[in-house]
Amino acid sequence: MVASLKADYPLSLLLSIAGLARSTFFYHQKRFGQRPDPYVQVRARIREIFTDSNERYGHRKIMTVLVKEGLSIAKKTVLRLMQDMGIKTKVRRKRYNSHRGTVGRVAGNVLNRDFTAEEPNEKWVSDVTEFAVADQKLYLSPVIDLFDTSVVSYSMSTSPNTALTNESLIRACQGLRPGQAPLVHTDQGFQYQHVSWAAILAEYGARPSMSRKGNCWDNAVAENFFGQLKSEMFYLQKFDTVEDLKTAIDEYIHWYNFERISTRLGGLAPMEYRTKTANATEAVTALC
C-alpha cells in the first residue's frame, strides 16, 4: 500500500502512518521486486474458469479443472488465490414441499439411500421444485439417473400437478432399451401416490420407491441437484417472465449434462462420463 501511494504522498508521512521503519520498507520492496508472483498465470486461468462457468464454480471445481489441465495445485491454494482476487460463488437454497399426506398408494423405501448404480437406467430419482417469478410460479420435474447424475428428462409447468410429473417420467421411459427396468425413487408427494404414476411405471416395467415421511435425505441426489441449479443459476439472475426462466433452465440443464464437471465422476461431466464408460465397456467386450 505504501509503495502504491508513495508517488502521490511523502514517503515519510506514509511510513509514519503505517508504523514502518524506512529500512523495513526498502527491504521488503527489494525482496518482493526480486520475487515475482509465481501464480500470475494461475490467477488468470482461475478467473477464466470462473467466468466460463457463469461464476458457478467454487474452489474445489476450479482446482479439478486445473488438475485436468496438468497443473499440480492444492485446494487450499486455489481457495486462497480466489479470496485474494475477491472471487466467490453465491449460494442460496429453498425447498418446495409437495407432501399432502397419504392420498394414494405409498411405496416402500426400496432405494434405502443407495445412490450408486452400476449401469445407466438402473436407478432413477425424481422430485419437484418451485421457482417464483414476479407473481407467478414455475415448477420443474426432472428424472435423474444415479449412474452419472445426468438429467435424462424433465418437464416444466406453472402447476405442480400430475401431468407435470407424468410427462417427465414418460419421456424418460421412452428412452429405455429392451430389458431395462429402473427403480424410480421419489418422495411421498401426492403426484407420486397417484394411480397414473403407478400405471406408467407398470407399463414400462419400472419399480417404485419412496422416501420415508418427512425425510428429505432419502432423496438427497434430487435435493442436491435443485440446490445446485438454484445457487448456480436462478439466484444469480433476475427473471422478468416465466418464459425467460424456462429458457435459462433449458440452457442450465444442457450445461449441467454436457459441461459441468463433477468431482464424483472424476472431473467429467455426466454425459462425458457416460460416453467414456460406454466406450470402455465396448473395448472390454471386443477383447473378450
| pLDDT tens column, 74-133 | 888 999 899 888 888 765 545 555 555 666 689 999 999 999 999 999 999 999 999 999
| pLDDT on residue 93 | 47
| pLDDT on residue 180 | 96
Region of poorest pLDDT, from 12-16, 29-33, 211-215, 264-268: 29-33
| pLDDT tens column, 32-69 | 655 567 788 898 999 999 888 888 888 888 999 999 88
Query: pTM for this structure?
Result: 0.69
pLDDT (average), residues 164-172: 98
| pLDDT on residue 158 | 95
Nearest one of 140, 148, 118, 242 to 191, comparing CA atoms:
140
| pLDDT on residue 104 | 67
In a 10 Å sphere around its CB, with 0-12 CB exposed, 13-18 middle and 19+ buried, how is residue 231 labelled? middle
In the predicted model, is pLDDT for residue 164 greater than 60?
yes
| pLDDT on residue 30 | 66
Region of poorest pLDDT, from 9-13, 182-186, 280-284: 280-284
pLDDT (average), residues 168-174: 98
CATH of 123-282, one of 3.40.50.300, 2.10.60.10, 3.30.420.10, 3.90.1150.10: 3.30.420.10
DSSP string, 259-287: T--BGGGTSB-HHHHHHHHHHHHHHHHHH
pLDDT band at 146 (very low <50, low <70, confident <90, very high): very high
In the predicted model, is pLDDT for residue 277 greater than 50?
yes
| pLDDT on residue 105 | 83
In the predicted model, is pLDDT for residue 186 greater than 80?
yes
Grid cell 407432501 — which residue? Answer: 99
pLDDT (average), residues 11-35: 73
| Mean pLDDT of the residues in the chain | 88
Region of poorest pLDDT, from 29-38, 112-121, 144-153, 182-191: 29-38
pLDDT band at 218 (very low <50, low <70, confident <90, very high): very high
In the predicted model, is pLDDT for residue 287 greater than 80?
no
The CA distance from 46 to 57, in Å, is 10
The CA-based diameter of the chain, rounded to the nearest angstrom, is 84
Region of poorest pLDDT, from 207-211, 235-239, 240-244: 235-239
C-alpha cell at 128: 419437484
The CA distance from 122 to 262, in Å, is 20
Q: Would you kindly state where each structural domain of the chain is located, as residue ranges?
A: 2-34, 40-85, 123-282
In the predicted model, is pLDDT for residue 209 greater than 60?
yes
